[in-house]
Structure 1
Amino acid sequence: MKRLTLLGALCCLVCFTDAQPQGWKVVEGKITTPWAAQVNAANPLPEYPRPQLVRSVWMNLNGLWDFAIRPEAENIPSAFEAKILVPFAVESALSGAGKTVGKDNRLWYKRSFTLSSDFKNKNVLLHFGAVDWKCDVFVNGKAAGSHQGGYDPFSFDITALLKKSGAQEIVVSVWDPSDDGPQPRGKQIKNPRSIWYTPVTGIWQTVWAEAVPKTYIESTRHTPDIDKQTLTVKAVVKEFQPGDKLHVSAWDGTRKIAEQEVSGDEAVLQIKDAKLWSPANPFLYDLTVAVVRKGKRIDEVKSYFGMRKISMVTDQQGVQRMLLNNKFVFQYGPLDQGWWPDGLYTAPTDEALKFDIEKTKEMGFNMIRKHVKVEPARWYFHCDKLGMLVWQDMPSGDMGNHWEPRPAIIGLATDKARTAESEKIFRTEWKAIIDSKINFPCIVVWVPFNEGWGQFKTEEITQWTMDYDPSRLVNPASGGNFVTTGHIMDLHNYPAPCMPDPKLFGKQQIIVLGEFGGLGLPLEGHTWQEKNNWGYQSFPNKTELLSKYKSFIDKMPDLIKVGLSAAVYTQTTDVEIEVNGLMTYDRKVVKMPEAELATAHKQLYDPSLVKLK
């Protein structure tokens, strides 16, 4: 039988989606992206949602659900008031609802579905890509489970709750206090203003069911080592029995390049003459992981991996540098907040989700800082395929401590005195986020804190992150409240580029410019509101905007020579009242020509700017 590559498998999977009722339209009153018109209420976001752990039998449960908003203390409603398009948050235009919820209310969802014959005699898992924030799930009137956390995927085994045949019913309740609670929330607040945006409540990523055997692979962790030319694969297997074996094989197209079968949960593959993953050559190997019992494969998943390394090394000047695959590559990219005027946290289509990355690549950037938000798995899959480095922020929350943005000022910055509950919420979700994204080679930096927003026990959280994932770098505090623990010192400065003195700060940590720019240009007909829009510095036309931007880029090579290893420009798109994007919020206008930006950026990647030992 001819072996399917991972990409082939993703294209060949069948989604068994029930026919959906009508009664949905986009809420009017705000700008929309070109993809809003392509959203199909019967089958929104139909793509396989988990590219790093692929099975063939699954069912997409996106589509029109019933919903109701009720006081927080009430139980399951006896009646549901209207339809909502899952997986778009209830506040969004694409949900068809456009409603606010708030801490005093609870959002309820309900839908029924019928499983195909492929699910027969299998265990059934119910998966949620993300639900903001606390949710309880019921199947056929019985509790399936609860979850807290707005950015990490979760699932429940609902096999015992299913009827033997016919329609199955799911009910989901969600409570989200937004900025009235201590939980991670990123830029969401109940009264949007300035750099703070519309709340996102409820289901905002794909909901789906999956058929698995009783013994099945729950997760995997892939750790490449380009120096030893190995890939370590560790698997978590449910109901792993004595005598079971783990079989792992790596593929370059249709050619098997390595395999190993072990009695334990960890295999080490030799990847000889490895093709290294990088923005210039984003090569990915396919991976197959199987559980073998008495010579028979009882579960198998498809995945992929990239051979790449991110590290810190001292250059000839004694300054710490960030290396990719043992070579200095200046990392430059936009601050990317991942917001959409029609879908808020959720891109209208997979094509839209990919569009921002493609445009970033066309503009000559090689990195994206994903700012206080976590994306669906497919976003990182597109970054892996296109060759885009990612710095992944932890979404912020529980604000209130003093922020000190100047690294030379000692003693003014404070850590937040969080409650035990708040600390637990943060630690639990940060670990869950890392676990869910650990296998994407595009991610090279973890960022637990930004500008002191809810920053607490910084050294401890940073050290934990470094220990938990030693294969990546950790930027402990982007933009202030600096600590010497961690790999990176990250300055924010608007609008012009600058850097801390590398002679003072570059001996122990990599120096980066984590935010700068913010050059604004409001374009009539493409703004969230008609007036009172802002950028850190605004311009009357595209010509003057481009001129100023190029003047900033021309200053960067001198900074790179003396110690700068990376920079982040604010930002990919306008977001609500912010108009400092490279593109408008509706993605209909690119404010500076892609080709001119790419040409301007080439000087930043000149390898002669930095000499290593």
Structure 2
Amino acid sequence: MLDAMIDDDHTAVRASTQDGTYPRPQLLRSAWTDLCGTWSFAYDDADEGIASGWSSAGVSERDIVVPFPPESSASGVGDTGMHRVVWYSRDLTTADLAGAGHAAGRRLLLNFGAVDYRCDVWVDGQLAGSHEGGHTPFALDITGSAREGARIVVRAEDDPLDISQPRGKQDWREHPHAIWYHRTTGIWQPVWLESVPAVHITALRWTADPRAGIVTADIELSVRPTTGTEATISLSFDGRELAAVSAVATDRETTVVIPIAELRNGQSYEELLWSPENPRLLDAEVRVGDDVVYSYLGIRTAHVARGRFWLNDRPYYVRSVLNQGYWPESHLAAPSAEALRDEAELIRSLGFNATRVHQKFEDPRFLLAADQLGLLVWGEAPGTYTFTPTAIERTTREWLEVVRRDMSHPSIVTWVPLNESWGVQHIAADPRMQHFARSLVSLTKALDPTRPVVSNDGWEQVDTDVVAIHDYEWRPDVVRQRYATDADIRRLIDSVGPAGRALILSGDVSEAPVMLTEFGGISFDTSAADGAWGYSSATSPDDFAERFEGLMAAVHASEALAGFCYTQLADTLQETNGLVTDERTPKIPVDRIRAAIVGHHAN
């Protein structure tokens, strides 16, 4: 709760010190009610729930623990079969309303972190709203039903065979195979309640420009404010006020520019900058009319030039790891906020300064941990498996929603809208797919021009800011020779990549950094997993260590690579190519892993 974030003077809330309990870390309110826990649950394989009146009566077939998907054991259900329609219900209590701070004249909001894939929500028998997109948050105004005993009913639909849904690594077959995992159906991120004034903040985005000495806040409101409504913003660092400004909010979208005087001192401005080595965060309080929210931000720059990735206008070598964001007991849903922070801490302890969360829009509380601990993140979209008008629309909508959701996190330094041509399988020969990939890059930069964009991680890239190469060659000597010099890499770019595909289809990459963004994938099965899988295999801890260290030495020997992303952090079901087991136990000593990862590229 917010008690842990209150300064000694008992007045200032410091969002930068929060513990991850609150589900939306960059737009906090002091009063809210967590609705996670036991709900009633039912499958609706015959799709008869609406006709049978479940939208009013609710369901009572069995219990489920929200927000864990029914496929997971943490949910208390643990059924991994194919079920297209599921229902949930829960009654509001007096304590729920009081905890949210609800009172006469205020609006009551029901928030969902994510429901896969589409859903309808009723409260007291009245349709409160609908949402499509399995990874994006939404809020519903349920003020008209704000009473004790009001029944919340959720119908979620997730067709396991619909390959035009952005689904990432959720298997379309009944059982997981190769690199695909169990499906995630229905509610899989937190649900919470909060009470707000009629005019309230619905979104808040930060952009920092240390070169100009300013921070910009983009504020979205629920309705157009009345004449004379003020937006007041104060920024502080470590309890010390840096700036405070007020502006008149004239519309639902308001932009406020905040000068930071300390950024104009060229000899000391770096003392406010965020980096993995110094993850400094600024606290913010934002007031619009009667609404007050708490937030945080980091000041830093990220760009590419001269064959390097640059952080805060300095070359920065990226040591990243591929992270599936999957747990054996809870699947794509995190077991807890603590587990998300533990994941970020584990990644840092192994010597990495970055992670690429793979084929998944991760829970914002993981990004909070990355912001606090100093971990760079590449934000990647879950892919579809087909190219149709529906797939294009769904991919674009969810991608833009998540870019808007996450763009204020300083930890995110690169966007990845496509990976390995998933959803654009014939991009090398089909101009339509090239146009789509190019449009995603352009749309991303229209929303957020402050970060590099990788158009299609792995191969067949168009207008990319980073040449991102996937190469699962297991022989260190071949890897060493392939990436030894810039000339060697340029020959690869001009011919055919390691996967037998062209690396670049269009766009000038002469000054772009080149990174090995997937490699390794060494399987060392410590748990006798059924169908254990990897790109190569080790037979013992020593064999695993020698293979791993040999590949890392070959990568570090390159004078041209600007960074890497090792595959992968943790074993995941039959994918046994993690550095740690699915329970997050290192397969070889941590010091040995860390030494190999850092090499001579300590920043």
Specify the TM-score bucket, using the shorter chain as the normaliser: 0.7 to 0.9
Residue 247 (structure 1) aligned with residue 216 (structure 2): no
Alignment match, 2:67: 87
Residue 62 (structure 1) aligned with residue 41 (structure 2): no
Q: Distance in 2 between matches of 1:307 and 1:369?
A: 21
Is the CA contact 1:373–1:393 (under 8 Å) kept in the aligned structure 2?
A: yes
Pairs aligned (count):
534
CA offsets 1:474-516 (integer angstroms, 9 cap, x no match):
0000112222x13112110004455584446551432111100
Report the CA distance between 1:130 and its aligned residue. Answer: 0.6
Identity of aligned residues (%): 33
Give the 3 Å change call, closer, same or farther, for CA 169–303 of structure 1 in structure 2.
same
Of 562, 576, 580, 2:573 maps to 576
Superposition map of 1:335-484 within 5 A: 335-399=322-386, 416=387, 418-419=388-389, 421-455=390-424, 456=433, 457-483=436-462
TM-score, L = length of structure 2: 0.85
Q: Distance in 2 between matches of 1:123 and 1:440?
A: 28
Q: Distance in 2 between matches of 1:323 and 1:178?
A: 41
Residue 236 (structure 1) aligned with residue 220 (structure 2): yes
Report the CA distance between 1:116 and its aligned residue. Answer: 3.6
Report the CA distance between 1:187 and its aligned residue. Answer: 0.3
SS in 1 for 2:128: strand
Of 18, 26, 30, 1:52 maps to 26
Report the CA distance between 1:101 and its aligned residue. Answer: 5.9
SS in 2 for 1:222: strand
Residue 590 (structure 1) aligned with residue 586 (structure 2): yes
Q: Distance in 2 between matches of 1:363 and 1:74?
A: 49
Is the CA contact 2:556–2:599 (under 8 Å) kept in the aligned structure 1?
A: yes
Report the CA distance between 1:10 and its aligned residue. Answer: 4.0
Report the CA distance between 1:606 and its aligned residue. Answer: 5.0
Residue 99 (structure 1) aligned with residue 79 (structure 2): yes
CA offsets 1:340-360 (integer angstroms, 9 cap, x no match):
111011122222222121111
Alignment match, 1:72: 47
Q: Distance in 2 between matches of 1:578 and 1:59?
A: 38
Report the CA distance between 1:541 and its aligned residue. Answer: 1.4
Q: Distance in 2 between matches of 1:464 and 1:582?
A: 36
Q: Distance in 2 between matches of 1:152 and 1:309?
A: 26
Residue 144 (structure 1) aligned with residue 128 (structure 2): yes
Q: Distance in 1 between matches of 2:517 and 2:125?
A: 49
Q: Distance in 2 between matches of 1:574 and 1:286?
A: 37
Query: What amino acid does structure 2 have at the position aligned with 1:291?
Result: V
Report the CA distance between 1:123 and its aligned residue. Answer: 0.7
Report the CA distance between 1:106 and its aligned residue. Answer: 1.1
CA offsets 1:191-216 (integer angstroms, 9 cap, x no match):
32010111110000110001111111
Q: Distance in 2 between matches of 1:48 and 1:139?
A: 23
Query: What amino acid does structure 1 have at the position aligned with 2:587?
Result: K
- Tell me whether 59-68 or 545-554 shows the greater mean CA deviation: 545-554
Q: Distance in 1 between matches of 2:113 and 2:208?
A: 26
Alignment match, 1:19: none
CA offsets 1:6-39 (integer angstroms, 9 cap, x no match):
248846xxxxxxxxxxxxxxxxxxxxxxxxxxxx
Q: Distance in 2 between matches of 1:135 and 1:444?
A: 32
Alignment match, 1:507: 510
Of 291, 299, 302, 1:299 maps to 291
Which stretches in structure 1 are left out of the alignment for 5+ residues? 12-45, 293-297, 315-319, 400-415, 608-613
Q: CA RMSD in A?
A: 1.9
- Tell me whether 350-359 or 324-333 shows the greater mean CA deviation: 350-359
Alignment match, 2:427: none
TM-score, L = length of structure 1: 0.84
Query: What amino acid does structure 1 have at the position aligned with 2:551?
Result: F
SS in 2 for 1:425: helix
Alignment match, 2:505: none
Give the 3 Å change call, closer, same or farther, for CA 604–128 of structure 1 in structure 2.
farther
Q: Distance in 1 between matches of 2:17 and 2:150?
A: 28
Superposition map of 1:594-605 within 5 A: 594-605=590-601
Alignment match, 2:465: 487
Q: Distance in 1 between matches of 2:600 and 2:208?
A: 28
- Tell me whether 139-148 or 222-231 shows the greater mean CA deviation: 222-231
SS in 1 for 2:75: coil
Alignment match, 2:504: none
Query: What amino acid does structure 2 have at the position aligned with 1:487?
Result: D
Is the CA contact 1:463–1:486 (under 8 Å) kept in the aligned structure 2?
A: no
Query: What amino acid does structure 2 have at the position aligned with 1:288?
Result: E
4+ aligned runs moved over 6 Å, structure 1? none
Is the CA contact 2:15–2:296 (under 8 Å) kept in the aligned structure 1?
A: no
Is the CA contact 2:302–2:413 (under 8 Å) kept in the aligned structure 1?
A: yes
Q: Distance in 2 between matches of 1:360 and 1:545?
A: 19
- Tell me whether 239-248 or 277-286 shows the greater mean CA deviation: 239-248
Q: Distance in 2 between matches of 1:61 and 1:392?
A: 28
Report the CA distance between 1:100 and its aligned residue. Answer: 4.2
Query: What amino acid does structure 2 have at the position aligned with 1:284?
Result: L
SS in 1 for 2:73: coil
Query: What amino acid does structure 2 have at the position aligned with 1:270?
Result: P
Q: Distance in 1 between matches of 2:522 and 2:392?
A: 36
Give the 3 Å change call, closer, same or farther, for CA 110–342 of structure 1 in structure 2.
same
Residue 269 (structure 1) aligned with residue 247 (structure 2): no
Q: Distance in 2 between matches of 1:514 and 1:8?
A: 30
Is the CA contact 1:391–1:444 (under 8 Å) kept in the aligned structure 2?
A: yes
Report the CA distance between 1:237 and its aligned residue. Answer: 1.5
Is the CA contact 2:164–2:391 (under 8 Å) kept in the aligned structure 1?
A: yes
SS in 2 for 1:303: strand
Is the CA contact 1:138–1:172 (under 8 Å) kept in the aligned structure 2?
A: yes
SS in 2 for 1:312: strand
Query: What amino acid does structure 2 have at the position aligned with 1:605?
Result: H
SS in 1 for 2:439: helix
Give the 3 Å change call, closer, same or farther, for CA 424–57 of structure 1 in structure 2.
same
Query: What amino acid does structure 1 have at the position aligned with 2:345?
Result: E
Superposition map of 1:171-320 within 5 A: 171-189=153-171, 190-191=173-174, 192-239=176-223, 240-264=225-249, 265-271=254-260, 272-273=262-263, 274=269, 275-292=272-289, 298-314=290-306, 320=307
SS in 1 for 2:359: coil
CA offsets 1:368-404 (integer angstroms, 9 cap, x no match):
00100111111100000010000011101133xxxxx
Give the 3 Å change call, closer, same or farther, for CA 495–592 of structure 1 in structure 2.
farther
Q: Distance in 1 between matches of 2:391 and 2:16?
A: 43
